Structure 1
Amino acid sequence: MNKKRLFTKTMIAAAITLTSQQALSAGFQLNAQSATGLGRAFAGDAVIADNASAMARNAAAMSLFDAPAISLGLNAIDSDIDVKNAKYAGQDLNDQQIGDISYVPNIYYIHPINDQWAVGAGVYSNFGTKTEFDSNYVANEYGGLTDVKSINFALSASYRINQQWSVGAGLDIVYGEGKLQRTTPLIPNGSNSQTKLLDVDANGVGVGWNVGTVFELDDRNRFGFSYRYSPELETDGDMYYIKSKDGNPDISGDKLKMPLPDMAEFSGFHKLNDLFAVHYSVQWIGWSAFDKLATTGGDTLNTYEWQDGWHYALGGTYYLNNDWTLRAGYMYDTSAQDQKTSISVPDSDRQWFSGGFTYHLDAKSNIDFGLTYLMGEDVKVTESTGLAPITATTRANALLYGIQYSRSF
């Protein structure tokens, strides 16, 4: 396998990695399950259950509903990603701003069957973003276009064992798609020009499952735990890349095998009085399982040195009156990347600063709004999987905002 073929397949794999479900948190995750959760940095979301979007974090939380409920929402992810101080093949490159806006819709429905059983269905995305370098960027073998999104189709059920314990389980069907374009500089006869190295439109489907439980100590205090199994996803698609100096395209029939990390979350909710509640979450993401990318043909395309990720979130809710509920939260999100880094998908430890509110239209319906500022850190990046190495400093910040309508029947 020549270097260009290996490089191209590795970049395809990186693009498809981004299209997976929430298991790919930490390095790539921008939570977008609900506007309600966004307003509290998702602190306590595995157990609060204030609208139907709760099923996305813990299927057992559906046992807390005594009437059918529906939620419809739209979140926006406005990323601000800088690549600066880059050096490539001995050249100093211009700084790049490669962020973009992604819109992430969601819908959930929970239906209690009786006092013990409830079922639910949801359609939402756990990831959606886009980064695009200038078309004349010299190091576009690493930059170029990365445009990815995912859709999660969820079916869940919960069972109330007694007044304190409930359990739940769900099936996740995840569809992901990604577009990736890369070019590489050529210098024929001493003049600078670029040629297309890679043009990919790929997709894949995986099936996973999740389980959860809720423990209600009393009417004001409860705890939740959920575990999500992530499948090994096989992906393929239309791929164009330069095989040799004759410029002829090559199309590979191999599929990529993607080992996705599992995830576990523990949440607590405590209503201290009629006006105020505190809530929190600790989430683990098993990123160390993502050790290599391999094909169905037996080739190892790339190896990784990633580490498990953690989220620590703390939030508060203030029940102002019958019309207004206010909330705020903070999350610390640890990076999945360790020694190996990237300019097209920057990653670092992150801080979330969140706020939001609910306006109750009437006793059965409300509108939620959530806003989060996600602040990353400067990271020194070195990549050398392409034709020439690149070094740079990256920083990824984002503004997330969402609106949601919820109703019970």
Structure 2
Amino acid sequence: MLVSHCSKARLSKTALTGVAIFVSSALSINTAHAAGYQIAFDSASGLGRAYAGEAAIGDTAAAMGRNPAIMTLFERAEFSGALVYFDADIDVVGASDTQSSSDTVPSNVVPASYYVQPLSEKLAVGLGIYSNYGLATELKDGFASPDIAGETSLLSVNINPAIAYQITPMVSLGAGVSLIYATGEVKRENLLSWEGDDVAFGWNIGSLVTLDENNRFGLAYRAGVDVNLEGDFTDHTPGLVAVPGGGTVSSSSTVPLPATAEFSGFHQLNDNIAIHYSALWTQWSDYTEFKATGSGCSVTGGICFLKPESYDDSWRWAIGTTYQLNEAVKLRAGFALDEKAGETTLSVPDQDAYWYSAGINYVHDANWSFDAGLAYMDRSDETFTETSLFAGSNEYETKGYLIIAGVQANYRF
């Protein structure tokens, strides 16, 4: 189904779960999303410019997560660790109180870490631990359409070693492999629950074209991956949903983590001002349904639950600027349009998102620097209709915004 379908292998889930818990400490599998279930926050340095120019700038080690070829820009080893907090206020409004729910996306913290190690003037390696995809929505208890709305979550943790080589003074290439741990969970009040996890492999490549010290372009591609989340499905009814007599059976659900491609540019206009921009494409057309299957779900022919989805490939457009205030301080600003990828639903309230960002970089000394970013994500009002077995067809409106704040520490060895 994917243009680039990566192989999967079952590894030690105990060890990988430990890594996932460390990387996503305090997350409780709650994440915010941009288009679809894509995670928008992978650094605080990028947050301050609305992630404009991420595949070309290379100002902190976090850049290797977007484009591994950028690692050839580094003359010293560098570590970057980021924490990004978001406070979401996204509501679903229906015809009555029982068809409405507030704060449907939980607020939380998204961590990420990166390390770049130059091996020579032309060769560098690195490691990133972060997330590209995740989702959490929670509708209130007692919502009148429990078969189509409740709690839905997806978490993926990407462990991404990479290598980069400068072919010529103008062109660098980079490549990485990804070890991905993913887990998902669905709860529908008094009806069903499901959870599963998987380990998969993926890959990414990138290129960097440096015209001169003031102008460069980056192009990066990350292959799509299908994660096959295996776990347990529970029918809480006396066999009305899927399992004869109710109970718990084994099941699996294949969820695509779509391919992405990003083009970025960076231009230092003078000693003080730079501009940068990005166009990010995501292959959301691969996401056609949310389904779990298992032989124990014999009431419905092996389908434990099924929800068709209507998604198209989407784009994210971003532009930003950096101003060198003095030797120690850089100021950043950015704007982005994050196009919605699919039809809005109660479980995935997809919306167009408009980013307004500002940030700062402070160089403490030759080794330490710090970044902070703040963004307001204005999500468009969307009206949609969904049909429930319990409440029939109803029209809903989803609306809201996110406040996003991030901090990051960078250390050069």
In which range does the TM-score fall when normalised by the shorter chain? Answer: 0.7 to 0.9
Conserved 8 A contact 2:31-2:134: no
Give me the whole-angstrom Cα distance separating, in 1, the residues matched to 2:341 and 2:326.
41
Aligned equivalent of 1:397: 401
Alpha-carbon distance in structure 2 between the residues aligned to 1:20 and 1:308 = 25
1:206 aligns with 2:200: yes
Confirm or deny that 1:73 pairs with 2:73: no
* Alpha-carbon distance change, 123 to 95 in structure 1, aligned in 2, over 3 angstroms: closer
Taking structure 2 as the reference length, what is the TM-score of the superposition? 0.84
- List alignment gaps of at least 5 residues for structure 2: 1-28, 295-301
Aligned partner of 2:208: which letter? V
Partner-residue secondary structure (3-state), 2:46:
helix
Aligned mate of 2:345, from 342, 350, 372: 342
Deviation string for 1:199-238 (max 9, x for gaps)?
2332222211111000000000000000110112111223
The question of 1:407 aligning with 2:401 is answered no
The aligned runs of 1:80-159 (5 Å cut-off) are: 80-86=89-95, 93-159=99-165
On the 8 A contact 2:98/2:144 being kept in 1, the answer is no
Structure 1 Cα separation of the partners of residues 160 and 30 of structure 2: 14
Say if 1:257 and 1:296, in contact at 8 Å, map to a contact too: no
Q: Which residue of 2 aligns with 1:33?
A: 42
The Cα of 1:20 is off from its aligned counterpart by 13
Counterpart in 2 of 1:192? none
Aligned with 1:267 (options 258, 264, 269)? 264
Distance of 2:30 and 2:141 partners within structure 1: 27
2:228 is equivalent to residue 234 of structure 1? yes
RMSD value, Cα: 2.5
1:273-299 residue CA offsets vs partner (Å, 9 max, x unmatched):
110100000011111122345667686
Deviations 1:329-386 (A, max 9, x none): 0000111114xx3123211111011110011111221110011111111111212265
For residues 370 and 390 of structure 1, the distance between their equivalents in structure 2, rounded to whole angstroms, comes to 39
Separation in structure 2 between the aligned mates of residue 115 and residue 121 of structure 1, nearest angstrom:
19
Counterpart of 1:48 in structure 2 is: 57
> TM-score of the superposition, structure 1-length normalised?
0.85
- Cα distance 1:386–1:281, how it changes in 2: closer, same or farther (>3 A)? farther
Answering whether residue 320 of structure 2 is matched by residue 315 of structure 1, we say yes
Q: CA deviation at 1:68?
A: 0.4
Structure 1 residues 294 and 241: alpha-carbon distance in aligned structure 2, compared to 1, 3 A threshold: closer
Matches within 5 A, 1:240-389: 240-242=234-236, 244=238, 248-293=245-290, 301-338=306-343, 341-384=344-387, 386-387=389-390, 388-389=392-393
Aligned to 2:14: none
Any idea what the Cα deviations from partners look like across 1:152-185, whole Å, max 9, x if unmatched? 11111001101100000011122122333212xx
Comparing 398-407 with 376-385, which one deviates more in the overlay? 376-385
User: Which sits farther off after the overlay, 322-331 or 169-178?
Assistant: 169-178
Deviation at 1:66, TM superposition (A): 1.1
Which amino acid in structure 1 is aligned with residue 375 of structure 2?
T
Q: How far has the Cα of 1:140 moved from its partner?
A: 2.9
> What is the letter of the counterpart of residue 259 of structure 1?
P
User: What secondary structure does 1:384 align onto?
Assistant: strand
Change beyond 3 A, Cα 1:399–1:25: closer
CA distance in 2, matches of 1:79, 1:110: 33
Secondary structure in 2 aligned to 1:54?
A: helix
The answer to whether the 8 Å contact 2:146/2:191 transfers is no
| Secondary structure of residue in 1 paired with 2:258 | coil
The percentage of aligned residue pairs carrying the same residue is 37
Q: Which residue of 2 aligns with 1:8?
A: none
Cα distance in 1 for partners of 2:141, 2:57 equals 46
Q: Partner residue of 2:8?
A: none
Mean CA deviation greater in 268-277 or 112-121? 112-121
Q: SS where residue 389 of structure 1 aligns?
A: strand
> Are residues 222 and 110 of structure 1, via their aligned partners in 2, closer, same or farther at CA, if it must alter by over 3 Å?
same
CA deviation after TM superposition for structure 1 residue 105, in Å? 1.0
For residue 99 of structure 1, report the CA deviation from its aligned partner: 2.9
State whether residues 103 and 128 of structure 1, in contact with CA within 8 Å, keep that contact through their aligned partners in structure 2.
no
Rounded to whole Å, the distance in 1 between the matches of 2:170 and 2:34 is 31
The aligned amino acid for 1:216 is: T
Counterpart-to-counterpart distance in 2, 1:175 and 1:311? 25
Task: Determine the C-alpha separation between the residues in 1 that align with 2:73 and 2:31.
Answer: 26
Give aligned pairs, total: 373
